[in-house]
Chain A
Amino acid sequence: MHPMLRHPLRFGREHRFTFEHASQYLDDDLDEAGRERVEHHARLCPKCHELLAALHRTISALRELGTGPGEPGDSDVADGVIARLRAGR
């Protein structure tokens, strides 16, 4: 019998825990007990497994945005600030 049917209340509780702590798991920000709860549940629950995988890919893609080339003219930002500071003094 599927574990969800054997222990529906417990499964639901672990499902909520995993959903709520998925980011902290991926940021390695859970204690060992929390990590084990997430990993154990994700092995049993395809939805949570997919959630973790998709969030992981989303975060990786967001980090790429931060390391990509800036827009043309970005190098002038400091010059613009300094010119305005000097004008305002």
Chain B
Amino acid sequence: MTSTLAPPRVRQDAYVGVIEDQELVAGAQAGDEAAFEELVRRHADRLHAVVRRLVDTRHEAEDVTQEAFLRAWRAIGRFKGDATFSTWLYRIGVNEAHRRRERRPGPQRETSLEEQLVEPREPRPGPALVAQQRALHAALERAIAELRPDLRTPLVLRDIQGLTTAQAAAVMELGEAAFKSRLHRARLTVRAAVAGYLPEAPDV
């Protein structure tokens, strides 16, 4: 399809560091496409980083990110500002990622409590620190990819992306108690999967 969009009314970097998201949202709600594109520039990388770990491929993550912004643009008039724009946007992106996973054939893998407590499945890597770190990160990525979506999402939002519990629970439209419970189960599962890769550490 050929673009029929008029040229932006402002320079691409005109909003940087000057205007809050809230004002850009108001502009977008009034039909200012350049304001919405500035929201894209501010939030696309982080949304992509979230959904990248909720779907299987980088290509799919890009597609989910694009679809999330398209949906956000179409729905921006209905955004009431009860949550921040980023929380609202992440919710759209996370829901879109989950929809795609649900459409995919094959059973979701369940993890029992006993399985969470088993010994590591893979041997400890070599002693070199860099190699150990790389192996730990690879083991983490595998463990995250094997988590059920309802456990993976809290872990990605809270522990990897650094959202607060309140923000992450709001993205998932969960109460904080339910969110914390899922996060804890996710951490236990990942901890069991990577136990052999964790460095020795002093007491907590």
A53 cross-chain contacts in B, Cβ below 8 A: 201, 203-204
* A-contact 0/1 string along B63-94, CB 8 Å cutoff: 00110011001000000000000000000000
Q: Which residues of B have CB within 8 Å of A68?
A: 137
- How far apart sit A88 and B159, CA to CA, in the bound complex (Å)? 35
User: Is A74 on the interface with B (CB-CB < 8 A)?
Assistant: yes
**Given known contacts A22-B184, A77-B44, is B191 in contact with A55 (CB within 8 Å)?**
yes
Per-residue A-contact encoding for B178-203, CB less than 8 Å = 1, 0 else: 00100110011011001100110101
Please indicate the chain B residues that have their CB under 8 angstroms from the CB of A85 in the complex: 5, 33, 36-37, 40, 69-70, 73
Chain A: number of interface residues, binned into ranges: 35 or more
Q: Which of A55, A56, A61, A81 contacts B44 (CB 8 A)?
A: A81
B145, chain A: closest CB distance, angstroms: 12
Bound-state CA distance A48–B66 (Å) is: 44
A54 pairs with B195, CB closer than 8 A = yes
Main secondary structure of the interface of A (DSSP, over half): helix
Dominant SS at the B interface? helix
Whether the Cβ atoms of A78 and B201 lie closer than 8 Å is no
Count of B interface residues, CB-CB < 8 Å = 46
Asked if A66 and B62 sit within 8 Å, CB to CB, the answer is no
Q: Is the CB of B49 within 8 A of A54?
A: no
Taken together as a complex, chains A and B put the C-alpha atoms of A22 and B180 apart, in Å, by 11
**A residues bordering B, Cβ < 8 Å?**
20, 22-24, 26-27, 29, 42, 49, 52-59, 61-66, 68, 70-71, 73-75, 77-78, 80-82, 84-89
